[in-house]
Structure 1
Amino acid sequence: MPTLSDTRVQNRYRVQPNDANNYETLHGGELMKWMDELGAMAAMRFAGETCVTAGVDDFSFHRPVPVGEIALVEAYVYSAGRTSVTVRIRAWREDPRTGETERTTGASFTFVALGEEGGPVSVPELTVETDEERELRDEALEAEN
């Protein structure tokens, strides 16, 4: 059974002018796309199957990411159903010169695992073993409420 840590993925995106809105900050839709892609990677790592987005909950923008800075996105599976997985996805703005970060966004995405025939297939149970994994799971569950 996969652990929460096995599903944890992270990526960085340099915010370019073509990623920006009228305020010269990262367009929310572009960040949502990056979060969805990374969330699918975490879900597929967990399920061992292709996973597609079924829903988005608790999507909150806290602060912008200016052009020239980095959007740091992290995703991990924190809950599993019969054919679906729930992924917590968080984003930070990162100064490329100092590495200083500031939380910008949080969301929970639900993905459904699909088999070769294109229909939903079962996913394994999630294992949470370490204190860090428990803290991440608890934070994600708390964000749901």
Structure 2
Amino acid sequence: MDLLETFIENREMVQPNHANSLQTAHGGNVLKWMDEIGAMSAMRFAGESCVTAHINGVDFERPIEVGDVALIEAYVYEAGKTSVKVRLRTYREDLRTGEAEKTTESYFVYVAIDDDRHPTSVPDLTVGSERGERLREEALDGENGGR
């Protein structure tokens, strides 16, 4: 499967029940949204259920205020035998202007599992476009500390 076919984005309106005492999105809620979208990307790629195996650090760069929209983007950038690496980025988006500012970034590893919940193989990842290659290179560079 091609990298661009794994690209998923979703939006969440940050409500008061998502907030901490500072009226910004609680980090745990942001991580939950990222994990859900990352798993969807991994499952789209693997064609199997996928479970979170590892989170390679999380950088919370700026807050998302109550009333703002959190835009979460995910895509598979590398595949092993049974595991899938997914780059995740969250943005604070202004729906009126379309402007988006990155707030959070991380790299998650998911493992594909079969119906018996045992690890199962995943397909090879292909990159068939300049945009896909750029996204893959950005993810590999970021994963290795080049963020």
1:123 aligned counterpart, secondary structure: coil
User: Is the counterpart of residue 48 in structure 1 residue 47 in structure 2?
Assistant: yes
Q: 2:23 is matched with which residue?
A: 24
Q: Aligned letter for 2:70?
A: A
Q: 1: CA distance between counterparts of 2:4 and 2:25?
A: 28
Query: 1:17-58, CA deviations, whole angstroms, 9 ceiling, x for partnerless residues?
Result: 000011111111100000000000000000000000000003
Superimposed CA distance per residue, residues 95-131 of structure 1 (whole angstroms, 9 cap, x where no aligned partner): 1332211111110000000011110000000001101
Aligned partner of 1:144 in structure 2 is 143
Letter in 2 for 1:51: C
Q: Structure 2 regions of 5+ residues with no counterpart?
A: none
CA distance in 2, matches of 1:144, 1:13: 25
One-letter code aligned to 2:29:
E
Q: Secondary structure at the match of 2:31?
A: helix
- The equivalences for 1:22-101 within 5 A come to 22-101=21-100
Secondary structure at the aligned position of 2:37 is classed as helix
Count of matched residue pairs: 144
Task: Report the TM-score when normalising by structure 2.
Answer: 0.96
Q: Over aligned residues, Cα RMSD in angstroms?
A: 0.7
Local SS of the residue matching 1:25: coil
User: Match for residue 105 of structure 2?
Assistant: 106
CA distance, structure 2, for counterparts of residue 12 and residue 53 of structure 1? 21
What TM-score, normalized by structure 1, do the two folds share? 0.97
| Alignment pair present for 1:118 and 2:140 | no
| Amino acid in the other structure paired with 2:10 | N
